[in-house]
Amino acid sequence: MKLLVAIHDVTPALNAECRQLWQMCAAHGIAPALFVVPNWHGEWPIARNRPFVQWLRDCEMEGAEIFLHGERHDEVGSRRGWRDELRAAGRTDREGEFLTLDGIEATQRISRGATLLTELGLSPIGFVAPAWLAHEESYRAAARLGLRVSETERGVRVHDRAMMIDAPAVRWSARTGFRARVSAWLAGWRWRIHQSWSQTPLIRVALHPADVKHPATLRSVVRELSRWSQARHTWRYAQL
């Protein structure tokens, strides 16, 4: 039984929290995938933060896989329709960057982001839309541009094999105190019913920098990382 662990929202804007999550994973012998945002909210271009880029390179040398996680991770300049509102309800606070993009714009953003990461000495292998919200055109663009893997809310898309691997995700939300406590409870509940997932080949643990900011989610992340890493073999995306 396999386990994938990833840190989302990797940006110098959240440097301390990203490093804390990395160390928490390292304590269990895990080198998590890093979902990198090249220019967080248009205000944090990683190209101007060389120490952060060097940290990413060091993590990659230690086994981290690099993913492009949008270009800005916000919806500035985009306009939601009612279908978009329904799809995003409760899932993101206006950070579904690829939620409304057509194929042309999605291709441009993925291309710019992947090119930038490569120019900075990183080796991006995949694409993950913020909040897992994107249309099919975005995944086709990622495949055309040579990115081998993408994630959706449902699981992992392996472009090399044109296949989807179902993979439930253990995740948290610390946007409010109420959400933090509920998501911590849900993470524990998922562990308690993990026997019903015993025939599920792949489980994901999705970590976010905000998870360390609330005591309830921080305690839960520490506990669940220990549980799941002991119960399953940690894999790399490339192994899929």
| 82 pLDDT more than 70 | no
84 compared with 188, residue with greater pLDDT: 188
Tens of pLDDT, residue by residue over 67-79, are 999 999 986 766 7
pLDDT at 151: 96
pLDDT of 80 above 70:
no
Q: Please, what is the average pLDDT of the chain?
A: 91
pTM here is: 0.94
Residue 85's pLDDT is what?
57
Q: Which of 18-22, 97-101, 132-136 has the lowest mean pLDDT?
A: 97-101
Give exposure, 215-227, as e/b (b: 16+ Cβ within 10 Å).
Answer: ebbbebbeebbeb
| pLDDT reported for residue 190 | 87
What pLDDT is attached to residue 97?
82
The whole-angstrom separation of Cα 234 and Cα 74 is 31
Widest CA span of the chain, in angstroms? 47
**Which of 9-23, 53-67, 89-103, 119-133 shows the lowest per-residue confidence on average (mean pLDDT)?**
89-103
Domains of the chain (ranges; CATH) run: 2-239 (3.20.20.370)
In this predicted structure, what is the pLDDT of residue 160? 87
* Reported confidence tier of residue 224, pLDDT bands at 50, 70, 90: very high
Q: At what angle do helices 15-26 and 215-231 cross, to 10 degrees?
A: 30
**pLDDT (mean) for 193-212:** 85
CA gap 103, 106 in Å, rounded? 5
Identify the pLDDT of residue 201.
Answer: 87
pLDDT at residue number 193: 80
**What pLDDT is stored for residue 76 in this prediction?**
74
Task: Give the pairing of strands 149-151 and 155-158.
Answer: antiparallel
The CA-to-CA distance between both ends of the chain, in Å, stands at 13
pLDDT score for 169: 94
Mind listing the pLDDT tens digit for each residue in 89-126? 656 667 668 888 899 999 999 999 999 999 999 999 99
C-alpha to C-alpha distances, 106 to 61, 98, 182, nearest whole angstrom:
29, 7, 33
pLDDT, average across residues 149-159? 95
